[in-house]
Amino acid sequence: MFIARFVTGLRVFGALLAGGSGLPWRTFLFFNAVGAIVWATSIAVAGYLLGQSWATLERWIGRTGGLALAAVIVVGVWLALRARGQQKNLQT
């Protein structure tokens, strides 16, 4: 849960995955709260430090966002092809 706070998309599904895996609610609450505090603090500090240099921040986020999008597309295509292959194996 702590790491999920820092990964876009996983932040949303982390709670579902934790519940599905049977993570005790107290453990979930602890790591979710600590992750939220660290995430919010790091975003606030980054905003403060980079607030005066919007161009630098835009370049940094732009590259990271593009790489993350490419990684998501590659993994999504791989998972879709894998699922399709498994489905074909079940039909034969």
Q: Give whole-number Cα distances, 52 to 55, 57, 60, in Å.
A: 9, 9, 14
Q: pTM of the predicted model, to two decimals?
A: 0.51
To which H or E segment does residue 40 belong?
A: helix 25-50
Sign, CA torsion 84/85/90/92: positive
pLDDT digits (tens, 9 = 90+) for 8-65: 777 777 878 788 888 888 988 898 899 889 988 988 888 887 777 767 767 777 777 7
Sign, CA torsion 75/69/67/3: negative
- What pLDDT is stored for residue 57 in this prediction? 66
